[in-house]
Amino acid sequence: MIIDDSRNPSAAAWPRCLLVCALLATLAACGKPPTAPEEELRNWVAKGVEAAEAKERRTLVDMISPAYADSRGNDRNAVENILRVYFIRMNNVQLVTSIEDIQVIGNSAAEVIIKAGMAGTHDGVLGFSADAYRFAFELERDRDDWQLISARWGELGKELK
């Protein structure tokens, strides 16, 4: 990716953001070795981040169980529509994630808590937006794959809904 700093001075911040992402990924790798299910869940999160940054809606939807439901009344189709609108609106999507906690229950269910900084460019007045959220994902193993069955989220520092 080539950045033309002459037209957009805020574009110079992207290389620094990528450096911070790399540093966070390195720090997340430190600590005790994860169990096999924990490693699978970390890979599931990494796959989701990669798909979101590439705006691969189909890949993300395939990671969601057909039985998905959340407390906001969303089902799998609603989440797909949310992603569709977001990806159409955004020219570029960048995520900085940190896995806060992984709880595996009997090798077939899990809860993953993630902090995520989300930034992107768009054609709006400012041309840029950024937010920070905390997500609680509930997953179950469907054969060999983990599937999202429910999620709660909120702005960083606020209650998860």
2 phi/psi in degrees, rounded to 5: -105, 130
The least confident of 38-52, 89-103, 123-137 is: 123-137
Yes or no: say if 65 and 76 are a contact pair by the CB < 8 Å rule: yes
Burial level of 9, CB count in 10 A (0-12/13-18/19+)? Answer: exposed
Q: Which domains does the chain have, with CATH numbers?
A: 9-155 (3.10.450.50)
pLDDT digits (tens, 9 = 90+) for 19-68: 444 444 444 555 556 679 999 999 999 999 999 999 999 999 999 999 99
